[in-house]
Amino acid sequence: MGLAPMHTWKPDAYGEAPGLVGALLAGGLTTCAFCALLRFVQICYAAGDGELARQLLLVLGLVSMAVAAVFMARQRDYKRMLAYSSVEHMGIIAFGIGIGGLGTFGALLHLINNGFAKGVMFLTAGNIHRAFGSKTTDEVSGAIRRVPASGGLFLAGFFAVTASPPFGLFLSELTILRAAFASGHYWQAGLFIALLAIVFMGMGSTVVRVDQGSPPPAAAGAYREPVLTVVPALGFLVLVLVLGVYVPDWLHRALTDAAEFVETSALEVRP
């Protein structure tokens, strides 16, 4: 799943993988790992150690967000930046499960939103990498001029993945925060908000350096963006935007049933 301190494989794996593989790792592999972790949490409930499991998830979630915030500050490799973004979002999901109740629903919704948003970021990062032949901000700038579609989607994906409204991650993170305040986790919620702000600033600094400015002379040659490398990223962006303003009834019911299943497992072992 990549929760800190078990996250050290992510920067190298995501940083060297092609954009498509990175999207599958961030949107698929981590989701499967989360589902496996959730089953072990239910085992803890059955063993009477549910409270311990929740506390561990709260700690692991906040530690993961803190580690991601530190390493995203002044990050020059934009693919490694996305790896740390994945660490952050796995921490957010763990934090939501640790809060419980409405937080569990928010965490499950965030899992879906994160998968779509990471699809936008990794696919466009792969296009930018192909256009410039580099994945560091020392050699990449002016992406929005050289590859307008991918550069524009990369910028929009940044706002989506950092939970800017009206994207879906804003709704899911707001749901987790509501649950934290409602359950009395005030200082944890405050730290959660502070770490989100640090991540936004650190990630935004790298994204702006990639997108803005003039392309370096070495990248001045003609380059065309194949349509089939842009359309999937655009489709993911539309999905995460739609989920920010409208959650279909069938999806809401499915997430509610899943959250109730997890929470019922906790209630069944309580006196």
Cα–Cα dist 188/98, whole Å:
11
pLDDT tens digit string along 103-134?
A: 999 999 999 999 999 999 999 999 999 888 88
Q: Which residue has the higher pLDDT, 19 or 239?
A: 239
Question: Looking at residue 49, what is its pLDDT?
Answer: 85
Question: Looking at residue 242, what is its pLDDT?
Answer: 96
Mean pLDDT value of segment 160-164: 95
Asked if residue 164 is part of any domain, the answer here is yes
Mean confidence (pLDDT) of the chain: 89
Asked if residue 271 is part of any domain, the answer here is no
pLDDT tens digit string along 188-208?
A: 999 999 999 999 999 999 999
**Whether residue 5 has pLDDT greater than 60:** yes
Q: Which residue has the higher pLDDT, 48 or 83?
A: 83
Q: How confident is the model at residue 73 (pLDDT cuts 50, 70, 90)?
A: confident
Q: Which domain holds residue 106?
A: 9-266
Question: Looking at residue 265, what is its pLDDT?
Answer: 52
Count of domains observed in the chain: 1
Percent of the chain whose predicted confidence (pLDDT) is above 70: 95
Percent of the chain whose predicted confidence (pLDDT) is above 90: 62
Asked if residue 4 is part of any domain, the answer here is no
Question: Looking at residue 267, what is its pLDDT?
Answer: 43
Asked if residue 2 is part of any domain, the answer here is no
Asked if residue 114 is part of any domain, the answer here is yes
**Whether residue 177 has pLDDT greater than 90:** yes
Asked if residue 220 is part of any domain, the answer here is yes
Asked if residue 1 is part of any domain, the answer here is no
Asked if residue 3 is part of any domain, the answer here is no
**Whether residue 269 has pLDDT greater than 50:** no
Q: How confident is the model at residue 219 (pLDDT cuts 50, 70, 90)?
A: low
Q: Which residue has the higher pLDDT, 58 or 74?
A: 58
